[in-house]
Structure formats: C-alpha cells, structure tokens
Amino acid sequence: MSCPSPPPPAGPRAPGRFGRRLIWILWPSFLVGGVAEVIFFTLFDPMELPFSDTLLPGGQALGESRLMVYTIGFFLFWAFAAASSALTCFFQRTSAEINRCPLTPLERPPGCPRREEPTTPGRD
C-alpha cells in the first residue's frame, strides 16, 4: 500500500510568467544601477555637476544635498538599465508568442485565417 502524497506546502506560490519576466528585468537592472552609480559618483562630485543649482519644488537647490543627488542618480541609472532589460525580454519572444491570438477559434471574426468554421454534417 502506498502512502498518500503530502499536501503542497502552504507558502507563497511560484511567480507566473509575468512575475518571472518582471524579476528578470528588475533584479539585474537594480544591480547594474547600483554599480553604475558607484562608478559615476566615484568620478564626479555631485556638488560640481552642472544641474546642482536647479531648484526643486520646495525651493531647495538640488545640489544642497548629496544624498538627494545620489538617490536621483541611482533611480535614473536603474530606470535606464530596466529599459534595456525590458527591451531584451521583448525581443526574445518567439514567433509563436508574437502571433498567438487571445481569442478562442469560434470567437475570432469571420474571415480570420485562424478561425475554425463549424462543419456541417454531410458536406465535404
């Protein structure tokens, strides 16, 4: 006699296809954004950048706080790296993923080459 299989573990379930792609995009871009920020701000002082005298909505100059410049720089580097990773995921799609139709065969409009017409008995 075989033992019954244990129930599935109660915990967070595995991410779906969209979740996996989001992880593929955001995690590497986060790492690249951090490395890019370290390299950039090792070479350039935030107080000497040309936009450091730009005023923010509160009236404070952007260059008054190094931490603010570091934060904005990190998010900009992260956004550029995320855009690059997203484009890579977009261009990796197969032809089947690009050409798949979200409608069932009978929901497709008449004349659609992928529509399956109902067959009538006795007609060949």
Whether residue 100 has pLDDT greater than 80: no
Specify which of 11-15, 30-34, 109-113 reaches the highest per-range mean pLDDT: 30-34
In this prediction the pTM is 0.65
Tokens of 62: 């952007």
* 3-state secondary structure at position 61: strand
What interhelical angle do 17-43 and 66-91 show, nearest 10?
140
Whether residue 51 has pLDDT greater than 80: no
CA distance 65 to 55: 12
In terms of Cβ atoms closer than 10 Å to its own Cβ (0-12, 13-18, 19+), residue 10 is exposed
Whether residue 17 has pLDDT greater than 60: yes
Whether residue 77 has pLDDT greater than 80: yes
